[in-house]
Structure formats: C-alpha cells, structure tokens
RNA sequence: GUGGUCGUAGCUCAGCUGGUAGAGCACUCGGUUGUGGUCCGAGAUGUCGCGGGUUCGAGCCCCGUCGAUCACCCCA
C-alpha cells in the first residue's frame, strides 16, 4: 500500500517544536491584544471574486498562486492567500463600520499560496495579522508598526530591520507610474523583464541583477511624487518611530505584491534567513473598502509570517536554552497493575477539581514509569502502591529538588490550589 | 513555474574503484526487590524515498517519479 504523505510544501508542527511555534504565535497575538485589538475569526475560503477585486487580478498572488475550486453548488471559492480582503469583506457585511472608529481587529490562521516551496515559503503557511480600519491617522500607522516591532523584541529577535516607504495616494501613483513607464521604455531590456515591467513597473526596482540595478539607479522615485498631505503624514510616522526608538530605514524602492497598498508601507526583514527573509509586512489601504462595495474608509494593517518568525528565532538561537515549561503539576504512577484503576480514578477526580495531572499508562516497570514522569515535565510525582491505598498517605516528590513530603491522598488537590 | 543540490534506522549521519548495511543520539530492558535526571551493560529497529533499467551482483551507475533544499520568481 502506498504510504500517505502530506501535500507538497505544507508546513506542520508537532512536539517538541510545536511548543516554539505556539510560543511565537502567542507572543505575536499578545502584542496585538495588549494594544486593543480584538479577535476576528474568518473562513479560510472565500468567494474567488473577493481576492480578484481586493488583491488585484494582475498580481502574481491572484493570477497564478491561488487555490481555486468549485463547490457542489457551482460557486467559485478560493483558499485565502492573505487576510486583509476577508477582514474588509466581513467588516462591510456585518456593518462594523457603523460602530466607533477605528475598528481594531487581529486574526491568526492558515493561508494558502500555490508557489514552489522553499524553506520559509509554504503552500499552507501561518500568519498573525491586525487591521485598524476607518481612520487615516499617522498615529495609527505608527501603532501598527509598533505592535509588530514590540512582538519581535519580546521574542528576543535582534537581527531584523524595518524598512518603510510611502506609496502616496492613487493620484500620485498614476502620475509616477506614467513617468516610470516612460523611463523604462528607454532602457534596453530582455523580453521577460519587459513583460514583468508591463505587469508592474515597480518590480524592476527590486530586480536582483546588478545591470538592472544600474539601469534603474536614475529611475523616478515614488517618494518624490508625494502630495503635501501624504508627505506630511509620512514625516509624522517617521517622527513617531524615532521618538519610540524603533530603528527604520526608508526604502523608496520597496515593492509590495498586493495592489491595495497606499500611503505608509513597511516590511520587516530578517537577515538570518535565506531568500524568504520577509518576516512581516503591511501598509495602508485607502481604496480597498470602497472597491469591495463598502463605504470609502481607509485602513492599515500587517501580516506577520509565523513560520518565518519561528525560523528567524531558531536561527538566532533563541530557543537553545528555552525552558520546556510543562502544563502539568502532578504525574502519578501505579506501582503495579493492581493499583491502576485506583490511580485512574484519582487522576480523573483531580482533573475535575482543576489539577493538571497525568499518569503512567501501560505496564512499565517503575524505572520506566519514573522516566515518563520526568519527560512529562510535571512539577511533582507520586507513586501509589497498596501501602498508600491502605494508609491514605502518599509521598509527593518534587521533581526538581528530588525531595518528597507526605500528603493525604484525600486532600491532594489542596496542594495545587495556589492559583 | 525555471535551474542546481540532496534523499541510508525515530533523529544526525558514515558506507572505499558496484560484492545484498553501520555509528552516535533517542527508545526498551537490566545493574538498584517501591522512585526519574548521571554512569555501566544488553536489546530492538531499515521495503537504503518510490518505479524501472544496466550488471553474475546496485545503497553506489543510468532513466523516470515523489519529496526536501538552494537560487530565480514571488512574498508572510
């Protein structure tokens, strides 16, 4: 029989590494929660139209990386390739924009893109994101960036940098685009590059070939086209970042793959990773909500790649001395099969009264059972034989110090009532 | 989607110019008649990714395929 394997390019996390994944994800989410963001739990598949209209049909993400399928009712559905479009759809559909603005939400979950897999690039990957919707206020731009930066610092990451730029409003974008296209048309480029430029001329800015870098050195920069209003807002964001001592560099050549970005746009890049070095990114989107049929409100948000942040943490050795913290207070061992039913009952009662505990299963020798107690990470262990059942007293062993103290079995749960 | 590299025990890997597999770690048991972490001893474990070909003989050579990985591309 053919051995089953996971679909190509998906990431999965199982013990013991899953605890690092969980730690990373929780740290990212915690940063959002502590800044007033609330949970938004959304479907992993949406009407295909949502992404075509929201993300943009000419983007690579939409044109060649979507998992699209037809359901039994003939509807075209797509596994979400990113989070913002779904959030906007839900905000519009559920009239959240009628509430006090800004709406501040976070989300976490799996996203899907049919790309060729690579370390840090998976077909199913995990993101934690936030969105602050309804107001165009540079203080919010700063807040969103700070929420991400705070999370990275909390994790202990050091080798990453923040790059920011402003894409201005749609008017400045079109006039810049016109000049950029004119500039590019005077360059001597190969066919593939011309095709790339036709789709999105900005892409040539981050082409890695040195000859293209040279050719693009004098190309018109979007930052020079900013309206007074955009420029002022962008300057404000920089001021706020500086006074918060969040280091950043302005990268006027930054290119983002999703069409909806306007205004402040940013990327967090780790230099401990390979080609897939972006650990998070985001920006403001002015026209998205209106494009999707809602009121014309601005918003800003980010998406952080949990897989990549985990990889970056590991590359920086942050988990080398990570203390495996078990949730268990107590691990109970039945000395022989005769006491197993008693222990099983006891464990069940302790769990009922809120004690986190586990027991030795199977019929292993005491030495082996103690080993599982050790591995479980439980703070205390207790061995129960006929003597203990008869006397009603058990030795509670502190697994760290090795010392034990006598405790009544009937009041065992009292020992763990500390919190 | 394009190109390069790799695939041997649960993990990390060794395996000579082709002669039908090994180490360390982990695991199980014992040394210690009812107490883990250290130490010592013993034991179990492989369709050599999968399919085909060349050969008397393939882990090793050839082709295909699947997967991982690196770069391009793209982006979280």
Give the CA A206 to C1' B64 distance in Å. 38
Closest CA to the C1' of B72: that residue is A208
Residue A419: is its pLDDT beyond 60? no
Which nucleotide's C1' atom has the smallest distance to the CA of A307? B76
Q: Are A260 and A54 in contact (CB under 8 A)?
A: yes
Give the CA A380 to C1' B40 distance in Å. 28
Region A14-35 average pLDDT: 93
Give A15's pLDDT tier (boundaries 50, 70, 90).
Answer: confident
| Whole-prediction pTM | 0.91
Give the CA A5 to C1' B55 distance in Å. 34
Give the CA A361 to C1' B46 distance in Å. 29
pLDDT for res A285: 94
Q: Are A146 and A158 in contact (CB under 8 A)?
A: no
Which nucleotide's C1' atom has the smallest distance to the CA of A371? B36
CA distance A317 to A263: 36
CA distance A77 to A69: 5
The number of beta carbons lying within 10 Å of the beta carbon of residue A30 is 15
Closest CA to the C1' of B74: that residue is A60
Most confident of A82-91, A323-332, A362-371: A82-91
Closest CA to the C1' of B27: that residue is A368
Give the CA A274 to C1' B70 distance in Å. 9
Which nucleotide's C1' atom has the smallest distance to the CA of A403? B35
Bases along strand B below 7 A from a protein CB = 1-3, 27-30, 32, 34-37, 47, 66-76
For residue A385, what are the CA distances in angstroms to A336, A342, A390, A391, A395?
Answer: 7, 10, 9, 10, 11
Window from A56-60, A296-300, A321-325, A347-351 with minimum mean pLDDT: A321-325
Give the CA A60 to C1' B15 distance in Å. 46
Q: Are A179 and A222 in contact (CB under 8 A)?
A: no
Closest CA to A43 of A86, A104, A12: A86
Give A73's pLDDT tier (boundaries 50, 70, 90).
Answer: very high
pLDDT for res A418: 63
Which nucleotide's C1' atom has the smallest distance to the CA of A336? B34
Give the CA A12 to C1' B75 distance in Å. 19
Region A240-254 average pLDDT: 95
For residue A218, what are the CA distances in angstroms to A173, A179, A182, A223?
Answer: 18, 12, 13, 13
Which nucleotide's C1' atom has the smallest distance to the CA of A368? B36
| Residue A372 in tokens | 């599982």
Give the CA A5 to C1' B47 distance in Å. 16
pLDDT for res A354: 94
Residue A325: is its pLDDT beyond 80? no
Give the CA A61 to C1' B1 distance in Å. 13
Indicate the average pLDDT of chain A.
Answer: 91
CA distance A335 to A384: 6
Residue A39: is its pLDDT beyond 90? yes
pLDDT for res A5: 81
Residue A123: is its pLDDT beyond 80? yes
Please give, one letter per residue, the 3-state secondary structure of chain A. CCCCCCCCCECCCCCCCHHHHHHHHHHHHHHHHCCCCEECCCCCEEEHHHHHHHHHCCCHHHHHCCEEEECCCCCEEEECCCCHHHHHHHHHHCCHHHCCCCEEEEEEEEEECCCCCECCECCEEEEEEEEEECCCCHHHHHHHHHHHHHHHHHHCCCCEEEEEEECCCHHHHHHHHHHHHHHHHCCCCCHHHHHHHHHCHHHHHHCCCHHHHHHHCCCCCHHHHCCHHHHHHHHHHHHHHHHCCCCCEECCCCCCCCCCCEEEEEEEEECCCCCCCEEEEEEEECCHHHHCCCCCCCEEEEEEEHHHHHHHHHHCCCCCCCCCCCCCCEEEEECCHHHHHHHHHHHHHHHHCCCCEEECCCCCCHHHHHHHHHHHCCCEEEEECHHHHHHCEEEEEECCCCCEEEEEHHHHHHHHCCC
pLDDT for res A323: 65
Region A322-342 average pLDDT: 87
Which nucleotide's C1' atom has the smallest distance to the CA of A365? B29
Give A170's pLDDT tier (boundaries 50, 70, 90).
Answer: confident
Region A73-89 average pLDDT: 96
pLDDT for res A209: 82
Most confident of A127-136, A167-176, A324-333: A127-136
Residue A1: is its pLDDT beyond 60? no
| Residue A224 in tokens | 């020079």
A15 vs A383 pLDDT, higher one: A383
pLDDT for res A260: 85
Q: Is the peptide bond between A16 and the residue preceding it cis, with omega within 30 degrees of 0?
A: yes
CA distance A346 to A90: 47
Which nucleotide's C1' atom has the smallest distance to the CA of A212? B72
Closest CA to the C1' of B35: that residue is A370
Give the CA A24 to C1' B29 distance in Å. 39
pLDDT in tens, A389-418: 999 999 999 998 899 999 999 999 998 876
Give the CA A304 to C1' B23 distance in Å. 42
Give the CA A360 to C1' B9 distance in Å. 27
Which nucleotide's C1' atom has the smallest distance to the CA of A200? B74
CA distance A322 to A177: 49
Which nucleotide's C1' atom has the smallest distance to the CA of A401? B37
Give A324's pLDDT tier (boundaries 50, 70, 90).
Answer: low
């Amino acid at each position: 029989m053919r051995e089953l394997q996971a679909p190509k390019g998906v990431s999965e996390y199982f013990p013991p590494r899953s605890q690092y994944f969980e730690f990373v994800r929780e740290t990212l989410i915690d940063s959002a929660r502590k800044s007033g963001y609330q949970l938004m739990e959304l479907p992993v598949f949406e009407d295909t139209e949502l992404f075509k209209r929201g993300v943009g049909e000419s983007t690579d993400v939409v044109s060649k990386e979507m998992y699209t399928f037809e359901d039994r009712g003939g509807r075209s559905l797509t596994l979400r390739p990113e989070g913002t479009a779904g959030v906007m759809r839900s905000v519009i559909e559920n009239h959240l924009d009628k509430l006090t603005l800004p709406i501040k939400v976070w989300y976490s979950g799996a996203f899907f893109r049919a790309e060729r897999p690579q370390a840090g690039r998976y077909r199913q990957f995990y993101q934690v994101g936030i969105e602050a919707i309804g107001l165009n206020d540079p203080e919010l731009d700063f807040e969103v960036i700070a929420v991400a930066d705070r999370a990275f610092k909390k994790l202990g990451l050091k080798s990453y940098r923040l790059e920011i730029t402003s894409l201005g409003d749609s008017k400045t974008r079109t006039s810049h685009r016109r000049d950029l296209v004119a500039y590019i048309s005077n360059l001597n480029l190969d066919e593939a590059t011309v095709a790339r430029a036709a789709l999105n001329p900005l892409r040539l800015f981050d082409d890695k070939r040195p000859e293209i870098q040279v050719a693009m050195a004098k190309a018109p920069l979007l930052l020079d086209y900013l309206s007074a209003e955009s420029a002022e807002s962008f300057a404000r964001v920089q001021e706020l970042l500086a006074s918060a001592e969040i280091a950043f560099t302005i990268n006027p050549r930054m290119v983002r793959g999703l069409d909806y970005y306007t205004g402040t746009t940013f990327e967090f890049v780790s230099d401990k990773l390979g080609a897939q070095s972006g650990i998070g990114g985001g920006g403001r989107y002015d026209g998205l909500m209106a494009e999707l049929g809602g009121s014309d409100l601005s918003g800003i948000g980010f998406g952080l790649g949990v897989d990549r942040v985990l990889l970056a943490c590991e590359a920086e050795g942050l988990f080398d001395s990570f203390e495996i913290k078990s949730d268990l207070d107590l691990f109970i061992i039945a000395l022989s099969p005769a006491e197993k039913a008693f222990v099983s009952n006891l464990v069940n009662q302790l769990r009922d009264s809120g004690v986190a505990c586990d027991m030795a299963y199977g019929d292993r020798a005491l030495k082996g059972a103690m080993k599982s107690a050790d591995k479980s990470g439980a703070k205390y262990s207790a061995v129960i034989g006929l003597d203990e059942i008869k006397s009603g007293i058990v030795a509670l062993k502190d697994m760290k110090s090795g010392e034990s103290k006598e405790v009544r079995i009937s009041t065992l749960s009292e020992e763990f009532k500390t919190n």
